[in-house]
Amino acid sequence: MDAEAALLISEFELDRVLETYDAGVAPGQVIYGYRWYAQYGCLTLSHAQRAEHDEIARRTTYKDRSG
């Protein structure tokens, strides 16, 4: 976890994060938060970890869409 990126998110994106949280999650979007934090560089993963996390995220999204 990158503490500096997390601090920047809390300073500049907090309103957007709270709006997204209040809006709820649509089916298939259960990992939206995880991907959002990863995109902003808050999470740092090695190449092997990325592949494993991507597989888990895809499986979780499939299960979420399937019910």
Least confident of 4-8, 13-17, 24-28: 24-28
Which pLDDT value is given to residue 23? 86
Which pLDDT value is given to residue 55? 93
CA dist 63 and 41 (Å) reads 26
Q: Give phi and psi for 59, each to the nearest 5.
A: -65, -40
The count of structural domains within the chain is: 1
Domain containing residue 46: 3-66
Whole-structure pTM value: 0.67
What does the pLDDT look like over 19-61, one tens digit per residue?
888 888 777 788 888 888 888 888 888 888 989 999 999 999 8
Write the DSSP string, 21-50: HHH---TT-TTHHHHHHHHTT-S---HHHH
